[in-house]
Structure 1
Amino acid sequence: MSHFSGIWIPIITPFDGGAIDHGALHGLVRQYVEAGVSGFVALGTTGEPAALNEQEQGAVLDTILSAAAGLPVVAGVGGNHVESVLERISLLNHKPIAGILVAAPYYVRPAQVGIVDYFKAVADQSRVPVILYDIPARTGVHLELDTLLELAGHERIVAVKDCGGSLDKSLSLILDGRLQVLCGEDLDMFGALCAGAHGAISASAHLMPERFVAMAKALEEGRLSTARQLWHSLVPIVHAAFAEPNPGPIKAALSQCGRIRNELRAPMTAASDDLAARWTLILNKVVGSPAGLEQS
């Protein structure tokens, strides 16, 4: 069984003049490897995959894999046309990835029995472990507890990215123990890890990744006071990272740090001037200066 734990980064896709900035992407991945993160999610929501064509998605994944220095990389897969999703998985089967992250078919809002059939077809097609992505805010449909527990019986369905918004469901999955639970709501991360979640897939960990890693390690080692202190220092970053549609805020902050250009593809837009000013205050307070973050 693959082990998905610790702090994972759903890496952004940097752009420069409308084109993918592979140099900046490679540099970001290397920075996060050195920060001690556990792995990466490529082409997750934060990576703007809906704005990339098939060739661009493949190129982004290849850059992340080449820069990850052996750390595991999970590829995001999504859609509501089943055959297209299965074809995409067939192509990914030939990549050296650690798993795939798959959400329920969006927009069509299938019944739970249809969701079960969908994920079983995905897992049957995949040669690598499958992480279920429970994110009803984007798909329009919840993965009910009974559905998740049934899917946990499939040999290749090993984990869940939990954005379901139900503490009761999260605790039930943790207690059941068959699926590794990765918190996907950054503000819930501390409580989820305290409750026994295996880790987190955290967009806000693009900023101060070492501190996120240290917080998770302190909790794992039972150093609650240290973990709490670290978490409290990170909360302003988490709030700002989701103050406007993701990944606009993250890109604005990384741009201030000199890591990327502040550029997204339509229909996504850059963060507002007000949020950019808020980031300046946060980075100056937490790090000392954006330049300090660039070197961290």
Structure 2
Amino acid sequence: MFSETAFQESPVAEAAFGRVLTAMVTPFDAAGKLDQPGAAELVRWLCRDGWNDGVVVNGTTGESFATSNWEKASMVHAASSVLQGTGKKVIAGVGSGDTAHSIALAQEAAAQYADGLLVVAPYYSRPSQAGLLRHFLAVADSTDLPVMLYDIPKRTGVAISPETLAAASRHPRIVAVKDAKGDLESTSKVIAETGLAYYSGDDALNLPLLSVGAAGFVSVVGHVAAHRLSALLAAYSEGRVKDALQIHRSLLPVYTGAFRAPAAASIKALLNRLGLPSGPVRLPLVDLTGPELALFLQDVETSGLSEVLLPAQVQ
């Protein structure tokens, strides 16, 4: 149960993984095979100065539901080979409907020098809250890496309750939450009660979540707008709320456009246009049609990101 004193004495959560992270696509070549050198190139581009503080690989936008264990390990290796020693973070998605599988993925991610783990609620089985907690604790116990839980009930079929999040926060390695629940009241309570660092996992709620104490973002549009998200964070942190609101409103078209189709397909279509490693999506996803891409490009331009429509220069 949540106590009144907890709200008065709530701990200040640290942004353990940085503040702006992009949930990165998994690049494939024209034949649909993993493009590991391309993944490293894309990480380098996303984490250039002024952009992301790190990347999340093997998440939903990374099509983790359609990649093998070997491909997942290769993605962690590609990202860590670029970012190791830079202070920027590689967070490995180890989500699964099976606890033993998630543990195996976590241990392999640690072997490939990941900096942290993203652990989504097990999907499809819709476990009880007791089952959720035991799953999270088992994965957290399996490595020495810090853990970010991922609460996205519209995909998993089960929400992580505030009480379960509070209980999980007592584990020394469970330090953060990627929040895509869309329940600001519940999120506010957990932030007030625990030391968990909250990251917005729903781009359209980036600013609202900052207002209730979020530490940063795990973003899809960070592929094309991480510099603007950094500016939004800076403005809000410095008390320039009107400036933050202006940036938020300007990004609404690209927020909408990125998710009009499955986000992996939208972002890959844009990256392909820019000449960056990306490639096709894998079934059951399908690539954007020409008209769908044209509409998304219009969203990008409406959000004031015209410079992104120019061919990319990889540093």
Report how far residue 169 of structure 1 moved.
0.9
Corresponding residue for residue 78 of structure 2:
63
SS at match of 1:20: coil
Distance 2:72 2:219 in 1: 21
Asked if 1:236 corresponds to 2:253, the answer is: yes
Alignment of 1:63-142 (within 5 A): 63-68=78-83, 70=86, 71-142=88-159
Corresponding residue for residue 193 of structure 2:
176
Distance 2:121 2:206 in 1: 22
SS at match of 1:97: coil
Corresponding residue for residue 312 of structure 2:
294
Asked if 1:43 corresponds to 2:58, the answer is: yes
Q: TM-score normalised to the size of structure 1?
A: 0.93
Report how far residue 290 of structure 1 moved.
5.0
- Out of 209, 224, 235, the residue aligned to residue 241 of structure 2 is 224
Q: Which range is displaced more, 223-232 or 188-197?
A: 223-232
Q: Is the 8 A contact 2:25 2:278 kept in 1?
A: no
SS at match of 1:47: coil
SS at match of 1:182: strand
Report how far residue 202 of structure 1 moved.
0.4
Report how far residue 261 of structure 1 moved.
4.8
What CA deviation, in whole Å up to 9, does each residue of 1:55-77 have, x standing for no partner? Answer: 22111111111122521111001
Alpha carbons of structure 1 residues 236 and 16: separation in structure 2 relative to 1, 3 Å: same
Distance 2:99 2:147 in 1: 16
- Structure 2: 5+ residue stretches without partners: 1-13
Asked if 1:7 corresponds to 2:25, the answer is: no
- Out of 181, 193, 197, the residue aligned to residue 214 of structure 2 is 197
Q: Which range is displaced more, 139-148 or 34-43?
A: 34-43
Distance 1:262 1:94 in 2: 27
SS at match of 1:191: helix
Q: TM-score normalised to the size of structure 2?
A: 0.88
Distance 1:264 1:59 in 2: 18
What CA deviation, in whole Å up to 9, does each residue of 1:15-63 have, x standing for no partner? Answer: 1221222333222211221133121111111111222112221111111
- Structure 1: 5+ residue stretches without partners: none
Opposite residue 136 of structure 2, the aligned amino acid is F
Q: Is the 8 A contact 1:6 1:198 kept in 2?
A: yes
Alignment of 1:208-223 (within 5 A): 208-223=225-240
Distance 2:110 2:41 in 1: 26
Asked if 1:24 corresponds to 2:49, the answer is: no
Report how far residue 190 of structure 1 moved.
1.0
Distance 1:4 1:290 in 2: 26
Corresponding residue for residue 143 of structure 1:
160
SS at match of 1:100: strand
Distance 1:3 1:261 in 2: 28
Report how far residue 116 of structure 1 moved.
1.2
Report how far residue 103 of structure 1 moved.
1.1
Distance 1:96 1:262 in 2: 26
Alpha carbons of structure 1 residues 222 and 177: separation in structure 2 relative to 1, 3 Å: farther
Distance 1:199 1:87 in 2: 28
Q: Is the 8 A contact 1:7 1:37 kept in 2?
A: yes
SS at match of 1:16: coil
Q: Pairwise CA RMSD of aligned residues?
A: 2.0
Corresponding residue for residue 275 of structure 1:
292
Opposite residue 33 of structure 1, the aligned amino acid is C
Q: Is the 8 A contact 1:240 1:275 kept in 2?
A: no
How many residue pairs get aligned? The number is 296
- Structure number with higher relative contact order (C-alpha < 8 Å, ≥ 6 residues apart): 2
Q: Which range is displaced more, 197-206 or 170-179?
A: 170-179
Q: Write out the 4+ residue segments of structure 1 that deviate beyond 4 Å after TM superposition.
A: none
Opposite residue 20 of structure 2, the aligned amino acid is I
- Out of 140, 151, 156, the residue aligned to residue 173 of structure 2 is 156
Q: Is the 8 A contact 1:283 1:289 kept in 2?
A: no
